């Protein structure tokens, strides 16, 4: 029903590009779901907080992560192709079961000690294949599944979900349920700010556990591509915590070495027809820094005849007309925007601001402080900047847009929601943003994007 309502609203034009939507969600903090509403699964030492992400550069590996509360065993994941039957014959009959061993870690954060956190990488998977995987032993055994992406290629259709700043509130649950209801997304692009543990006394790390249980209904079945946000910093010198990103780095592993990165905070992957670059807004990025040097070498490597869609993910938006976090992404914009234009990046997704906004294709790379040239102008080689930081977290909606909408802003709305990017081929992708309202994922904005390398024509919003 939700998907049918979405289609109807898309066809009838819910909102208009170049305007601020008149719909504003009530600006009250969302109510967090109590910890007891996220109980651990039944069974002795049952694996929990299961999540998966791409485990290599090209989509033939998967990192499976999970937590065991009582023992550090078993340290492996068992998996097999879904069309095969699991062998019950220990003498070699039937289909062979495959295993991938895990590395196991724990950490302490102030007065919190984590359970056992496991990360196993399954390699040499077949493309476009459904796999069953199993974790645990005895009455604590749990079973899940995932589907690998199609082989990398220029006209491979693929659909990404996009959510940012999710948290674990009633609104967060509405966002995730709406996303799951339409069953279109194949991989989640998650734009940072996970559990919001840091807004609680002593950065209550039990909130990391409850968040892992909350998202498992999605993250155990489709890969989430992670972006670190400011709420993952967890810097708290007042309680003796000086290590940046400590809980995040222990809990969420990514294949950063596969793309030549020296840090899990920035990396890239190829998936279907997209080359996806993840950047860290809260790591050094100026000239000579590791992130700068890595991106300088990564962008020229992108082969648009193989992966035509070039997508960048970050947490703090470069273009934002909301008074909340206004111009916080300006320094990164000054450093990286010329490269985005030079290499014809198609789309840049960010979170951080708890509302929705889509820009025009603009650039401000002629900046000259002496002559005063410092205004964004339309640029067909520039990306569209999309802020999707409206997952529904405890801090509430950002409902204070700059009064006079800047020319670079195409559409904006103070609501919670999620987005979908449906890549059709090397030239066209359909994008839609879905508002949470009245228990229906209203499509508040939509547009056909044209690839900057293959079909660099001007787009027109379907809401215009």
Pick from 250, 274, 269, 249: which is nearest to 259 by CA?
269
Residue 12 to residue 459: CA distance in whole angstroms = 18
Q: How many C-beta atoms surround the C-beta of residue 39 within 10 A?
A: 10
Tokens of 365: 């790379």
Residue 24 to residue 21: CA distance in whole angstroms = 8
Contact between residue 399 and residue 426 where contact means Cβ atoms under 8 Å apart: no
Q: Which one of the listed residues 231, 325, 418, 434 is annotated catalytic?
A: 325
Contact between residue 141 and residue 43 where contact means Cβ atoms under 8 Å apart: yes
Residue 238 to residue 432: CA distance in whole angstroms = 43
Active site residue 325: yes
Nearby residues of 309 by Cβ (< 8 Å), 6 or more positions away: 273, 274, 275, 346, 347, 423, 426, 429, 451
Contact between residue 250 and residue 117 where contact means Cβ atoms under 8 Å apart: yes
Give the residues across from 133 on adjacent strands.
Answer: 79, 144
Cα torsion angle, 389, 394, 399, 400, sign? negative
| 3-state secondary structure at position 22 | strand
Task: Name the burial class of residue 439, with classes exposed (0-12), middle (13-18) and buried (19+) by CB atoms within 10 angstroms of its CB.
Answer: exposed
Contact between residue 75 and residue 101 where contact means Cβ atoms under 8 Å apart: yes
Residue 46 to residue 286: CA distance in whole angstroms = 45
Backbone φ, ψ for residue 173 (5° rounding): -65, -40
Residue 59 to residue 270: CA distance in whole angstroms = 7
Contact between residue 407 and residue 400 where contact means Cβ atoms under 8 Å apart: no
Backbone φ, ψ for residue 155 (5° rounding): -115, 30
Residue 257 to residue 332: CA distance in whole angstroms = 23
Q: Tokens 């390699």 sit at which residue?
A: 123
Strand 356-359 versus strand 409-414 pairing type: antiparallel
Nearby residues of 235 by Cβ (< 8 Å), 6 or more positions away: 241, 242, 244
Q: Which helix (H) or strand (E) holds 52?
A: strand 48-54
Contact between residue 189 and residue 349 where contact means Cβ atoms under 8 Å apart: yes
- Annotated active-site positions, please? 325
């Amino acid at each position: 029903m939700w998907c049918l309502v979405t289609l109807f609203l898309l066809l009838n034009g819910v909102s208009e590009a170049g305007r601020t939507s008149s719909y504003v969600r009530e600006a009250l903090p969302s109510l967090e779901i109590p910890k007891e509403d996220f109980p651990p699964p039944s069974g002795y030492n049952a694996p929990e907080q299961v999540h998966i992400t791409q485990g290599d550069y090209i989509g033939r590996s998967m990192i499976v992560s999970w937590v065991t509360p009582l023992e550090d065993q078993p340290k492996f994941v068992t998996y097999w192709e879904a069309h095969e039957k699991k062998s019950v014959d220990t003498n070699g009959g039937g289909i062979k079961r495959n295993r991938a061993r895990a590395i196991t870690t724990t950490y302490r954060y102030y007065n919190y000690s984590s359970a056992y956190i496991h990360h196993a990488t399954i390699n040499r998977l077949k493309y476009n294949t459904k796999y069953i995987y199993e974790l645990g032993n005895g009455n604590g055994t749990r079973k899940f599944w995932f589907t690998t992406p199609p082989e990398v290629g220029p006209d491979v259709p693929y659909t990404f979900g996009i959510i940012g700043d999710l948290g674990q509130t009633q609104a967060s649950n509405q966002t995730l349920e709406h996303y799951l209801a339409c069953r279109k997304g194949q991989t989640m692009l998650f734009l940072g700010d996970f559990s919001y543990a840091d807004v609680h006394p002593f950065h209550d790390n039990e909130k990391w556990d409850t968040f892992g249980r909350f998202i498992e209904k999605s993250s155990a079945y489709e890969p989430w591509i992670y972006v670190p946000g400011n709420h993952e910093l967890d810097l708290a010198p007042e309680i003796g915590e000086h290590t940046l990103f400590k809980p995040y780095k222990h809990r969420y592993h990514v294949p950063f070495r596969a793309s030549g990165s020296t840090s899990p905070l920035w990396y890239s992957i190829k998936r279907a027809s997209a080359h996806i670059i993840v950047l860290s807004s809260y790591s050094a990025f100026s000239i000579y820094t590791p992130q700068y040097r890595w991106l300088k070498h990564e962008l020229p490597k992108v082969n648009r005849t193989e992966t035509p869609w070039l997508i960048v993910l970050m947490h703090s938006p470069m273009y934002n007309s909301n008074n909340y976090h206004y111009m916080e992404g300006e320094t990164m914009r000054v450093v990286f925007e010329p490269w985005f234009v030079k290499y014809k990046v198609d789309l840049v997704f960010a979170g951080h601001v708890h509302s929705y906004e889509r820009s025009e294709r603009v650039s401000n790379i002629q900046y000259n402080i002496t002559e005063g040239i410092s205004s964004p102008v339309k640029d067909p080689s520039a990306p569209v900047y999309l802020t999707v930081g409206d997952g529904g977290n405890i801090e509430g909606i950002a409902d204070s847009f700059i009064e006079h909408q800047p020319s670079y802003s195409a559409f904006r709305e103070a609501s919670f929601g999620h987005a979908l990017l449906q890549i059709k081929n090397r030239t066209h992708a359909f994008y839609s943003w879905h508002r949470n309202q009245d228990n229906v994922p209203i499509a508040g904005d939509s547009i056909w994007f044209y690839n900057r390398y293959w079909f660099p024509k001007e787009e027109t919003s379907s809401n215009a």
